[in-house]
Structure 1
Amino acid sequence: MYQEATPPHVQVSGYPNPLPGQLAAAGPYISPRGSRHIRTGAWSTNLCHCCDDPANCLITCCCPCVTFGQIAEIVDRGSSSNEDCSGCASRGATYGLLLLTGFSCLYSCFYRSKLRGQYDLVEAPCADCLVHFFCETCALCQEYRELKSRGYDMGIGWEANMDRQKRGVAMTPPMMAHSMSR
């Protein structure tokens, strides 16, 4: 007998199978014990959740070059083309100069794409360049939160994060650290 195959988005055995691209909208999986597991392909927070980290939101709105510099240093894994200058400061200054010309979104779009490639994140909610063109500060805040949720202390830079890791200090995402203390 001929049987029709079940489409991938139809619910089977009580569990919905998401359509391609729906995984990112689902967000992180929080287990019954409260620990957080970041799914492959999904951002840890949505684009418009800037106020999840109010301090970073305020800094990014007032001086986006600071947030961008922190993101770029982690994404570039501390490598800098200018050995005399800190990677965070030099990238932040470059971003600041481009901000004056209106082309900063092209520079930051490159880093969003690089971040997505490193962590296998989906290009959501739309193309990286469009996200940075229309929602620059929201995009920077989301990228900052993504790296922070992956255990990076954004205020200390790449080298200090790697030094912590070498010494055996766990790079535990904040939510997991809170749930483990209970």
Structure 2
Amino acid sequence: MADIKQQKAYRAWPTDPPTYTAANNEQMRNITQNKDWHYSLCDFCSPGSLCLMSWCLPCLTFGKTQARAHDPTLQNFSYINTDCAVFTCLGLGLSQWIIQTIRRGEMRERFGIAGSCCGDCCTTMCCGCCALIQEEKEMELRTRPEFAGYQPARQMAYSASG
């Protein structure tokens, strides 16, 4: 049981390259194929740094979650990105919940998490910051390379200088 809690511990930044020997492990399948959220909306205080950032500057958490969805390694990540800017602009009119509802639904579809658009809408309107924390922790957990199995190395790219 302690091993599962250790696997589910939130990592703000990716760690060392994973070993792929345990990719078919039953515990890992339980994490990647679970139809429920691994983290509760009420589990927003841990870690404190994510909680503080999400309450003070929610656009940064939203931008990081969306960046992690495209590149789990966060190699080219910047806190100031398009998703952060869109969230901020919508937030000025108190309508950031719209983009958050859309992206939460996309996340549920991608990972097969049970829920509905109506539930996403109510969650993001009533508990927006808690939902941001839940989504960031969930995205981090489900996109860890060690849970994705073997991934081929990226091809080398040559610049066309000339």
**Bucket of the pairwise TM-score, normalised by the shorter protein:** 0.5 to 0.7
- Do structure 1's residue 74 and structure 2's residue 68 form an aligned pair? yes
**TM-score between both structures, scaled by the size of structure 2:** 0.63
Give a deviation string over 1:113-159, Cα, whole Å, max 9, x none.
Answer: 000000001128x7101000000000000000101222549xxxxxx
TM-score, length-normalised on structure 1?
A: 0.57
1:44 corresponds, among 18, 38, 41, to: 38
Aligned to 2:109: 117
Which of the pair has more CA radius of gyration? 1
| Residue 14 (structure 2) aligns with | none
What is the Cα deviation at residue 34 of structure 1?
2.4
Structure 2 gap segments, 5+ residues each: 5-26, 72-77, 146-150, 154-162
**1:22-171 maps to which residues of 2 (within 5 A)?**
30=1, 34-35=3-4, 37-38=30-31, 39-75=33-69, 77=70, 89-123=81-115, 127-152=119-144
CA 1:152–1:58: 2 relative to 1, 3 Å:
farther
Q: Deviations over 1:2-30 (max 9, x none)?
A: xxxxxxxxxxxxxxxxxxxxxxxxxxxx4
% identity of equivalent residues: 27
* Cα RMSD after superposing both structures: 2.8
Count of residues in Structure 1 that have an aligned counterpart in Structure 2: 118
Residue ranges of structure 1 left out of the alignment (5+ in a row):
1-29, 79-85, 154-164, 168-182
Distance 1:70 1:152 in 2: 15
The runs of at least 4 consecutive aligned structure 1 residues that moved more than 6 Å come to none
